[in-house]
């Protein structure tokens, strides 16, 4: 049972009062002839005098009220923007003006009909002849007040800023912070543009299982769940890779999937336990072709969504125009750390070389993990403009194909932007015997208790034995792309409902909702 604050109790009394007066505080239907933006556009298009003949019915949420005795001003906000309302005793009677002032509150949804006009100060305004409550708000929105300065800019006062409250109560955040709504519009537009690009290139969108009997395709710990009737444990997928590549065996030549991956790992500003991934696989292509498609896809998407190849991200301006810089991983590491990984074919030797630089890597790390360590310690922070790092060590890439002239190196690239990894791609391994060998190597190289070691997927090998065309594959965290496009530092800002600990018991913390 909810306990109400004193402010809420006052509003509940208003609801009772409205009911006594025969007003339904939650009527079933609304009427609306124009959005606020449509009404303003129609007024401007018709011209000042003709525009004044326009009779419209608008609907929205009350965001500001300025009662002045026998007249009242208010602003309502709908999905398109704001509109000022003007209530005047002469037209609707003192009783109606009083009712609006006393029984209606900030946050209530109303509809209002009347004609449009321009006030002394120049604002297009609805001169209200009739209005109706659409939904009464019991709780006060954590609303900011906006001040329009003489130069036209908007100064916000006391906006809702508490990041925890904003994430837990995203509905309130969205209701009062328009820029948050904009972030999610950009997110949706990004997804749409990516799909448009891939469809145009002939890729088929598919859906593969989220619940899997065996997980794979990435190095991560899975979430485990249980199916009661089948009496077996299931895993939430950590990647789509092994299922999508099975489809290439089935002669689907270009497939992609956009969906949720789940990784039971740490949470940070760039990691959420569930995140949205794009993967595509392209038969008869190699990683160089995928590289070209990648820079085309991202620059196309930036153009579609933001109207520009250049974005401002944090302190940097980033230019997605192709071609992107290409840098061999070995060269990049050598130039930034002074360590040439080719000089150190064993983990012991490489370990010593890294320690000489003053860093302290995990003494038990494999050679591949040490290379990854060098990459993130020295090279990654320097990669601000879009850069393809290519040619990775085989032992950290168990699903990628070796270079024909160098069995210890695989045809793999990762694109880095603004100092973090955006995507990962390779020429896919399609030799079932080699693949089986790699799975077995993974089992040996990683300690038994290492939760990231790859389980051997027999069905995947069975599929590959039927013959898999040579192909290039690609994976990208969509959330990270949206972070770049919306200039957000934290993944939580681009997720509507990011993962949070459950709220404490009632009253245990300040966001405990009563």
List the interface residues with RNA, window 325-364 (CB under 7 A): 362
Contact segment (CB under 7 A) with RNA among 31-39, 47-55, 342-350, 487-495 equals 487-495
User: DSSP of 419-462, one letter per residue?
Assistant: TEEEEEEEEBP--HHHHHHHHHHHHHHS-TT-TTSPPP-HHHHH
Site for RNA in 268-297 (CB under 7 A): 268-273, 275
Does 379 interact with RNA (rule: CB under 7 A)? no
Q: Which residues contact 384 (CB under 8 A, 6 or more apart)?
A: 316, 318, 417, 418, 419
Query: Which of residues 37, 210, 220, 456 is near RNA by CB under 7 A?
Result: 220
Give the residue, chosen from 3, 48, 130, 161, that forms a contact with RNA under the rule CB under 7 A: 161
Check residue 437 for interaction with RNA (CB under 7 A). Answer: no
**Based on CB atoms, which residue is closest to RNA, 217 or 283?**
217
217: left (phi over 0), alpha (psi -120 to 50) or beta: left
Q: Kindly tell me which residue out of 38, 265, 391, 434 binds RNA, with binding defined by CB under 7 A.
A: 265
397 lines the binding site for RNA (CB under 7 A): no
By CB under 7 A, tell whether 485 contacts RNA: no
Instruction: Report the nearest approach of RNA to the CB of residue 230 (Å).
Output: 27
Does the footprint of RNA cover residue 146 (CB under 7 A)? Answer: yes
Q: Give, as ranges, the residues between 100 and 119 that touch RNA (CB under 7 A).
A: 102, 105-106, 117, 119
Residue/partner pairs of 481-484 with CB below 8 Å, 24 or more apart:
481/190, 481/298, 481/301, 481/422, 482/183, 482/186, 482/187, 482/190, 483/270, 484/311, 484/313, 484/318, 484/417, 484/418, 484/422
Q: Is 65 in the site for RNA (CB under 7 A)?
A: yes
Do the bridges between strand 274-283 and strand 254-262 make them parallel or antiparallel, or are there none, so unpaired? antiparallel
Instruction: Write the interaction track for RNA spanning residues 408-427; mark x where CB under 7 A is met and - where it is not.
Output: ------------xx--x---
Nearer to RNA, 246 or 263 (CB): 263
Stretch that binds RNA, among 32-40, 222-230, 257-265, 343-351 (CB under 7 A): 257-265
Strand partners, 62: 76
The whole-angstrom separation of Cα 400 and Cα 475 is 13
Stretch that binds RNA, among 23-31, 145-153, 198-206, 295-303 (CB under 7 A): 145-153
3 state SS for 81-116: EEEEEEEEHHHHHHHHHHHHHHHCCCCCEEEEEEEE
Scanning 153-161, 204-212, 224-232, 250-258 for contacts with RNA by CB under 7 A, the matching segment is: 153-161
Does residue 86 bind RNA (CB under 7 A)?
A: yes
Which residues, including other chains, have CB under 8 Å from residue 311's CB and lie 6 or more apart?
302, 317, 318, 320, 484, 485, 487
490 part of the interface to RNA, by CB under 7 A: yes
């Amino acid at each position: 049972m909810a306990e109400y604050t004193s402010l809420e109790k006052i509003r509940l009394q208003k609801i009772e009062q409205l009911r006594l007066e025969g007003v339904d505080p939650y009527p079933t239907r609304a009427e609306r002839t124009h959005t606020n933006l449509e009404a303003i556009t129609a007024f401007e298009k018709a011209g000042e005098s003709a525009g004044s003949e326009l009779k419209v019915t608008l609907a929205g949420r009350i965001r500001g009220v300025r009662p002045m005795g026998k007249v009242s001003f208010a602003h309502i906000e709908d999905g398109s923007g704001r509109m000022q309302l003007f209530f005047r005793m002469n037209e609707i009677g003192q009783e109606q003006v009083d009712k609006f002032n006393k029984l209606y509150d900030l946050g209530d949804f109303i509809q209002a009909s009347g004609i449009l006009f321009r006030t002394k100060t120049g604002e297009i305004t609805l001169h209200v002849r009739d209005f109706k409550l659409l939904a009464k708000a019991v709780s006060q929105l954590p609303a900011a007040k906006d001040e329009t300065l003489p130069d036209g800019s908007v100064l916000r006062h006391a906006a809702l800023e508490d990041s925890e409250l904003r994430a837990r109560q995203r509905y309130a955040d969205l209701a009062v912070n328009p820029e948050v709504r904009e972030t999610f519009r950009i997110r949706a537009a990004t997804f749409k543009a990516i799909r448009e690009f891939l469809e145009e290139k002939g890729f088929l969108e598919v859906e593969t299982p989220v619940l899997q009997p065996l997980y794979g395709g990435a190095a991560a710990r899975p979430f485990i769940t249980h199916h009661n009737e089948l009496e077996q444990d299931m895993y939430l997928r950590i990647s789509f890779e092994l299922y999508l590549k099975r489809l290439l065996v089935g002669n689907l030549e270009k497939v992609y999937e956009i969906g949720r991956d789940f990784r039971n790992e740490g949470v940070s500003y760039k990691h959420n336990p569930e995140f949205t991934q794009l993967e595509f696989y392209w038969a008869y292509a190699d990683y160089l072709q995928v590289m070209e498609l990648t820079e085309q896809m991202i620059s196309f998407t930036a153009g579609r969504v933001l109207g520009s190849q250049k974005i401002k991200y944090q302190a940097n301006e980033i230019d997605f125009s192709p071609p992107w810089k290409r840098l061999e991983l070995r060269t990049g590491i050598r130039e930034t750390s002074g360590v040439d990984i080719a000089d150190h074919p064993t983990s012991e030797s490489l370990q010593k070389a890294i320690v000489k630089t003053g860093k302290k890597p995990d003494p038990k790390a494999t050679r591949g993990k040490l290379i990854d360590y060098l990459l993130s310690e020295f090279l990654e922070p320097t990669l601000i403009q879009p850069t393809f790092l290519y040619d990775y060590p085989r032992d950290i890439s168990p699903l990628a194909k070796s270079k024909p002239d160098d069995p210890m190196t695989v045809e793999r690239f990762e694109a880095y932007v603004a100092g973090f990894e955006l995507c990962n791609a390779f020429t896919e391994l399609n030799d079932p015997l080699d693949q089986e060998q790699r799975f077995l190597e993974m089992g040996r190289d990683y300690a038994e208790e290492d939760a990231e070691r790859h389980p051997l997927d027999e069905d995947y090998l069975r599929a590959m034995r039927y013959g898999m065309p040579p192909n290039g594959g690609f994976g990208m965290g969509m959330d990270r792309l949206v972070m770049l496009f919306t200039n957000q530092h934290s993944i939580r800002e681009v997720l509507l409902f990011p993962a949070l600990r459950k709220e404490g018991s009632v009253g245990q913390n300040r966001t405990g909702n009563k």
